[in-house]
Chain A
């Protein structure tokens, strides 16, 4: 089985890792040595797409064309987008379905944007491993619902990756952490505060089995929120006319993030904002000031932790270790808070930025059979159910049920000759359907019979990825019904197909463009050298030779102005052959000159 990589597709940064002989390791870009890939994607007017550091840098000049954290938008609708994000990006008007960015007049879904990040990680892994990479384990926040998981899997498919498994981030971290502690029997808590999501998971480790007891979190809480509150304060200090300026806002947000990082290791940090009119704005931020601002954000993790402990039937004393995961746990206030919640300082012996990717690499090894002594038993993070009479949410699968989990429900008809039953599937903990997140609608086809006669058994199955599938069986005939599920915020199969086709078209286009660019560079080089030599060595030309060379050069120039790489290469070859005798004479001449000059030296 070829290599399966583990990918941490983060809000701010992404990484790729693989399980080697000596354990998991993060794969660095062979050219730059970089391990973290900023999850930023920038779309140029030319159609070119920048990913990573270059895209992040472009966010300052082109904030509307640069998506910094597509993960925040995975599997949600426009109505779930925060006010801050509505100001920062431009969206296509959409009444239903997944949220769509509007960039250069084109609409883009979050999975399409994330696919660019995944493609870059894939390229990086292939370069580092010297092997084709087609399969991956991708991590998701434990608290991601079904739609958000589907969106992540779709992104993988768009990037040409078969997603073997979606693994919850804190669980992956526990795998990496517990790799050398398999003999122990203990209970650990993973406190994972990333760029845009917060997760807490309580796991029991016994005999190599990693059993998740409970999980909780908030998919809209993270380090980004700290940057946002600090940026808001900084913007308030600016002259009013700059506060809504898109580029100024992007710059301030970036500075807020840098200051937050700096304040993790020092008591205060200076910053300087460059205004578009040439003005400058300077100030200092102290750690105390930052902590006062972010305290409410950090406090928001408390409830999830208490709930997870209660769901696991434990009190803090029952937890043997706390593992800190996610870049935001570098913030001292966050560490202190974690310590206060669990009564012990969080473990940080593994790099909080890398531990999730390392765990994903371990899980990839488990799936390929390279690692047989470990097994992960994860849970469904949110209760799953259907809407019943009066808009009530009827729970079918409880949160924290171990995956895979299935439940069967029998449905019948309410009126004579009814030909189908409409089912609305939702996920959440609230009593009313409207208060939970809609996942999908589907219709069970039913033979038109008197009311109450048909009996259809519907199986709701949540697989090891935390993704729901639905099958229906007619209990009278034993016949299986196919159920076409209409996702509320996901991509339909048709849409995904179309995107896949487009990405293949683009892939061909991209290759062609690169070939043209490379051929042009070569053409320009030979043209420059040829002209220079004609000027320097006119005496070495034979009669008529200059004209022949000039004709070939003109032909190459014309070809290079076009878009056909083959034509450019052919014209290049013609010029190269035409100039060959001339080039040989120049070489001979140079040799003679060297010999002459050496002879003179020796005298």
Chain B
């Protein structure tokens, strides 16, 4: 029975140990037992947060710490093997949820995934507003690869990319405040455009760093 639970097969909204209502939480508030985690667990629900793009960072951190205090393996060291297994899985799920939600970019991408419109591997079209910058940088990279690159020019291109990335990321918070919990097609499209641009610049920046490291 507990073994089946440990493998995350079934959960019916009740604590496996004391039958208290647990909903989608990672642990039972009544008896502190770590709960089995569903494969498609919702990161917001796991930490007991409202499903919103504009999260309160301090609230997120407090909830993460509270959940960790309950589910972390250190708290279940003396428990049965089954409970230890549950604790390990629940703790890993809580860590993953926090890691995803705390980073604005990861949170936005997760939002798109949740609403069935993920940013896929097909994300290689140059966002129009970035065309000029992208073209200039790629020219620099081509020169370097051809053996007549200019280190100062590459460094300048890198700086331009980095500052563009910073302003794009900084713009996310405004966008999230505007969208709140919105998941209508126009809101999702806007989000996807912004996140695609960020992903594009990040990839390009990595290319520049790889070339510069040579």
Q: Which residues of chain A have a CB within 8 Å of any CB of chain B?
A: 1, 164-165, 206-207, 209, 211, 363, 366-369, 375-377, 401-406, 461, 463-464, 480
User: How distant is the Cα of A1 from the Cα of B98 in the complex, in angstroms?
Assistant: 33
Size bin of chain B's contact surface: 20 to 34
Q: Let me know if B88 and A463 touch, CB within 8 A.
A: yes
Q: Which residues of A contact B77 (CB under 8 A)?
A: 164-165, 367-369
Nearest CB on A from B77, distance (A): 4
Q: Let me know if B95 and A375 touch, CB within 8 A.
A: no
Q: Let me know if A464 and B72 touch, CB within 8 A.
A: yes
User: How distant is the Cα of A471 from the Cα of B89 in the complex, in angstroms?
Assistant: 13
B residues 45-85 with Cβ under 8 Å of A?
61-62, 65, 68-69, 72-75, 77-78
Q: Which residues of B contact A164 (CB under 8 A)?
A: 77
Nearest CB on A from B40, distance (A): 12
> Which of B65, B72, B78, B89 is close to A207, meaning CB atoms less than 8 Å apart?
B65
Nearest B residue (CB) for A463? B88
Instruction: List 7 extra interface pairs beyond A461-B88, A464-B88, CB under 8 A.
Output: A209-B68, A367-B77, A369-B77, A375-B69, A401-B95, A404-B73, A464-B91
User: How distant is the Cα of A402 from the Cα of B89 in the complex, in angstroms?
Assistant: 13
Q: Let me know if A376 and B74 touch, CB within 8 A.
A: yes
User: How distant is the Cα of A403 from the Cα of B74 in the complex, in angstroms?
Assistant: 11
Q: Which residues of A contact B178 (CB under 8 A)?
A: none
> Which of B65, B74, B75, B88 is close to A206, meaning CB atoms less than 8 Å apart?
B65
Nearest A residue (CB) for B58? A206
Q: B193 within 8 Å of A by Cβ?
A: no
Q: Let me know if A404 and B92 touch, CB within 8 A.
A: yes
User: How distant is the Cα of A463 from the Cα of B77 in the complex, in angstroms?
Assistant: 13
Q: Let me know if A403 and B95 touch, CB within 8 A.
A: yes
A–B pairs, 19, beta carbons within 8 Å = A165-B77, A206-B61, A209-B68, A211-B65, A366-B74, A367-B74, A368-B77, A375-B68, A377-B68, A377-B72, A377-B95, A404-B73, A405-B92, A405-B95, A405-B96, A406-B89, A461-B92, A464-B74, A464-B91
Q: Which residues of A contact B73 (CB under 8 A)?
A: 404, 463-464
Q: Which residues of A contact B115 (CB under 8 A)?
A: none
Nearest CB on A from B100, distance (A): 11
Nearest CB on B from A394, distance (A): 14
User: How distant is the Cα of A207 from the Cα of B91 in the complex, in angstroms?
Assistant: 19
Q: Which residues of B contact A403 (CB under 8 A)?
A: 95
B residues 117-145 with Cβ under 8 Å of A?
none
Q: B99 within 8 Å of A by Cβ?
A: yes
Q: Let me know if A402 and B98 touch, CB within 8 A.
A: yes
